[in-house]
Amino acid sequence: MTPLLSFLNVSKRHLDGAREIVVLDRVSLEIEEGASVGLYGARRSGKSTLLRLAAGIALADSGAVCFDGRDMARMSSGERGRLLRGEIAFIASGDWRSNPGESVVDHVATSLGSEGLTIREARRRALRALDEVGMSASGAEGPTASLSLDERARVMLARALVREPRLLVLDEPALMSGLADRDKFYALLRAAARQQGTTLLLASEHMAGLQGVAVLMSIADGEVQTSGARGSVVPLPRRRAAAERFAQ
């Protein structure tokens, strides 16, 4: 069976001034359809890079990232864009943007813009998605400007779920005001993903934020460790050589 998402020897480097930072070094992993995977890592560990590669927002320097067996690097930017508006939903806490005066339900409904729906149908679906994430009908008609952090997170989730994506990628979604809100959000997320059969890939710098996932991974120093059977760890080549020298 083809995994929904696979990384095969994926490497990614960034430049920090003149210094080259190896963010991912030949990372291989597979995520089956319907699975939930949590990625734990400290700040600047490469979590966001891995998620952006998974969502097709960024491309690997080498290796292959495949969605449903299709190599994202071989797709045109238009194809990747369609994927990101359809089968893949990407949420990053820092990405909250709304138009002034926009109501919550319209904010969610606009994410269905490319589906060819009537406004009435898009609003109906948006209200259903908002109900699934625990937003009341009166809250849904209110302006986005008055939302709390917790409510924003739920609206972002509704905006992603309304399109019924096959893969939901969340980058550091735990920016809640309180721990109880955070736990509620994750319980909601798990339930919604389970109900829709959506594959989850979420990252957090708080391990508690990844509770309830089926596979937990950690990322640090270019390496990904995983609690699951799938996925592999390949040490950085230069480091492998150094370790071999040490062993001699």
Partner 1 sequence: MVSSSAEKTKWMRGPSTPLRGALLGLLLERPGHGGDLANRLAARLGETWRVDTNDVYRLLEQLENTGLASSRDEPKRGNHRRTHLVYHPTEQTSEALTLWMETLLPREPVRLGLQAKLSVARPQDAARLLVALRAYERECLMLAQLVSPTDGQARSWAALCMECTRDAVYAQLQTEVDWAARTRKRINEFSEPST
Q: Which chain residues interact with partner 1 by CB under 8 A? A: 40, 42, 45, 179-187, 190, 206-208, 210-218, 220-221, 223, 225-227, 233, 235-236, 238-239, 242-248
Q: Which of 111, 96, 105 is nearest to 138 (CA)?
A: 105
Residue (9 or 232) nearer to partner 1, CB: 232
The CB-of-110 to partner 1 minimum distance in angstroms stands at 29
How many whole angstroms separate alpha carbon 95 and alpha carbon 72? Answer: 23
Residue (137 or 207) nearer to partner 1, CB: 207
The residues pairing with 225 across neighbouring beta strands, listed in sequence order, are 218
Residue (98 or 226) nearer to partner 1, CB: 226
The CB-of-70 to partner 1 minimum distance in angstroms stands at 29
The CB-of-190 to partner 1 minimum distance in angstroms stands at 7
Q: Which of 68, 66, 47 is nearest to 56 (CA)?
A: 66
Q: 228: helix, coil or strand?
A: coil
Q: Where are the alpha helices (DSSP H) in 102-197?
A: 104-109, 119-132, 137-141, 149-161, 179-196
The CB-of-226 to partner 1 minimum distance in angstroms stands at 7
Cα separations in angstroms, 147 against 152, 192, 228: 6, 21, 38
Q: Tokens representing 176?
A: 């809640």
Residue (7 or 67) nearer to partner 1, CB: 7
Residue (75 or 236) nearer to partner 1, CB: 236
R_g (Cα) of the chain, nearest Å: 19
Q: 231: helix, coil or strand?
A: coil
Residue (119 or 233) nearer to partner 1, CB: 233
The CB-of-176 to partner 1 minimum distance in angstroms stands at 9
Q: 195: helix, coil or strand?
A: helix
The CB-of-118 to partner 1 minimum distance in angstroms stands at 36
